[in-house]
Amino acid sequence: MGMLERAEAIGKQKPRVPAVRPRAKGERTVCKRRATRETREVTTPPLPQLRETIARTVAEAAPALIALSHDIHSRPELAWNERYAAERTAALLESNGFRLERAVADTPTAFVATSGSGSVTVAFLAEYDALPGIGHGCGHNVIAATGVGAGLALAAVADDLDVTVQVIGTPAEESGGGKIRMLEAGVFDAIAAAFMAHPGREEIAGTVSLGLTDLAVTFHGRESHASAAPEHGRNAADAATITQVAIGLLRQHLRPGQQVHGIVENGGVAPNIVPGETVLHYYLRARTAEALDDLTERVLACFEAGAVGTGCTFSIEEVSARYDALEPDAQLVELYRDELAGVGRSAVPVSREHELPLGSTDMGNLSRVVPSIHPVVAIDTDAYTHQPAFAAASALPGADRAITDAAVALAGTAAAALADPDIRARLVAQLAARTPVA
């Protein structure tokens, strides 16, 4: 069943009305739902009580969550090929009562796990792809375990909050953009808010990221004997060299926040053959779409310079879809800050958040559509992401603690948002505004 049909089917299910019990002090009415003959009020227990259940659920699940994290960590898989990690994550949710839909969006390593049947649906996201050569140097094993932990915890209070909880497995964050594909396929159509936490060096609540354009340029020259007939060759590697020099010189004149970095993927095959084809793979980044467009235009001119100067031609491929800069939901970020304090952590001040851009993430695209947060949870390491030392730290006790703390804080944030009538109403209204009325 596709997402839309599923959402419809859930919508058609008879609402499960919890037993009415005396209203305790501090309880708030979340909403009124119509049962067959009468109208009953669904009351929400006070937040401290919900938090207690959330913390207890995560504590009970901790051994399984940490085992999941370590398992994924020990078997790193690259973007789109996270078969072990996706199945291991999905299976843990399934064994805890979640309903599983595997291979969503025609993607074998994407899944949606659902628990409860409340009137509002929120999602926790699980990334699990690794990096070529350095394994889980971005610690996505921590993201997966945190997402599962938060999902289990919110599921434990789902009826109290009249919420449907999903944990969504989102492959290919490091390259490819799994969330973008899933967004286009409608996987997030019914989601009122989305939550995930990424491991890092520092604790950041309102993470920002840069927009990213992923380009490969291929220079086409002409092979020839490098000694016997060099005048008959056109050197594609020279085109790459001119491009690298031009980009290097361009750097002085970039705007703050604009970044360019790349690698040579194919620099030729043998010293005695004039390289007939060379590939450069570049990431272009900037804070805004406009600044990214500006940068793209200037870098394309550098590609052209390389080709013109060497008599080569060139072709450009956009390798991954463009990643948008993160736009975290300010109200949800503030709630997260409070929940973080509850687990004994404090995030860097807001003024420092913009000094610590995360790089780029496909969560940026999702955050433009679905109110979202993407905090960074510190894993007690001096290493930076994409360093081998960070990969090692991602399975140490500091990372294990980050999983349970962040799971509690994320689930607590969702609970606080859903228990607050104003925030809940806003999330519902935003969802209604973007979903076509049937």
Considering the complex, state which of residue 135 and residue 206 has its C-beta at the smaller distance from Zn ion: 135
Please give the angle made by the CA atoms of 294, 296 and 298, to the nearest 5 degrees. 75
CA 284 to chain CA centroid, Å, is 19
Q: Residues with Cβ < 8 Å from 312, sequence gap 6 or more?
A: 219, 220, 221, 234, 235, 236, 238, 239, 306
Stretch that binds Zn ion, among 137-145, 369-377, 395-403, 430-438 (CB under 5 A): 137-145
Considering the complex, state which of residue 248 and residue 388 has its C-beta at the smaller distance from Zn ion: 388
Q: Torsion angle, CA of 105/110/115/117, rounded to 10 degrees? A: -10
CB 357 within 8 A of CB 202: no
Q: Can residue 204 be called a binding residue for Zn ion (CB under 5 A)? A: no
Q: In whole angstroms, how close is the CB of 198 to Zn ion at the nearest point?
A: 6
CB 250 within 8 A of CB 299: yes
CB 148 within 8 A of CB 133: no
Q: Can residue 391 be called a binding residue for Zn ion (CB under 5 A)? A: no
Considering the complex, state which of residue 114 and residue 394 has its C-beta at the smaller distance from Zn ion: 394
Q: In whole angstroms, how close is the CB of 81 to Zn ion at the nearest point?
A: 16
d(CA 338, CA 332): 10
Considering the complex, state which of residue 138 and residue 415 has its C-beta at the smaller distance from Zn ion: 138
d(CA 160, CA 17): 10
**Which residues partner with 317 through β-bridges?**
216
Q: Residues with Cβ < 8 Å from 151, sequence gap 6 or more?
A: 93, 98, 113, 115, 124, 165, 166, 167, 411
Stretch that binds Zn ion, among 136-144, 178-186, 321-329, 331-339 (CB under 5 A): 136-144
Considering the complex, state which of residue 205 and residue 307 has its C-beta at the smaller distance from Zn ion: 205
Considering the complex, state which of residue 138 and residue 423 has its C-beta at the smaller distance from Zn ion: 138
Eight-state DSSP code of residue 295: H
Q: In whole angstroms, how close is the CB of 173 to Zn ion at the nearest point?
A: 6
Q: Please give the helix or strand (H or E) that residue 126 lies within, else none.
A: strand 120-126
d(CA 138, CA 146): 14
CB 220 within 8 A of CB 236: yes
Q: Can residue 138 be called a binding residue for Zn ion (CB under 5 A)? A: yes
Considering the complex, state which of residue 42 and residue 138 has its C-beta at the smaller distance from Zn ion: 138
x/- string (CB under 5 A) for Zn ion, residues 417-436?
Answer: --------------------
Stretch that binds Zn ion, among 138-146, 246-254, 334-342, 405-413 (CB under 5 A): 138-146
Q: In whole angstroms, how close is the CB of 61 to Zn ion at the nearest point?
A: 23
CB 152 within 8 A of CB 114: no
Considering the complex, state which of residue 143 and residue 236 has its C-beta at the smaller distance from Zn ion: 143
d(CA 221, CA 237): 9
Considering the complex, state which of residue 138 and residue 194 has its C-beta at the smaller distance from Zn ion: 138
Stretch that binds Zn ion, among 52-60, 132-140, 223-231, 246-254 (CB under 5 A): 132-140
Q: In whole angstroms, how close is the CB of 313 to Zn ion at the nearest point?
A: 34
Eight-state DSSP code of residue 206: S
Q: Can residue 163 be called a binding residue for Zn ion (CB under 5 A)? A: no
x/- string (CB under 5 A) for Zn ion, residues 79-118?
Answer: ----------------------------------------
Q: In whole angstroms, how close is the CB of 385 to Zn ion at the nearest point?
A: 6
Considering the complex, state which of residue 125 and residue 154 has its C-beta at the smaller distance from Zn ion: 125
Number of residues that bind Zn ion (CB under 5 A): 1
Q: Which of 272, 279, 280, 266 is nearest to 233 (CA)?
A: 272
Q: In whole angstroms, how close is the CB of 207 to Zn ion at the nearest point?
A: 11
Q: In whole angstroms, how close is the CB of 148 to Zn ion at the nearest point?
A: 17
Stretch that binds Zn ion, among 30-38, 131-139, 199-207, 366-374 (CB under 5 A): 131-139
Positions in the binding site for Zn ion (CB under 5 A): 138
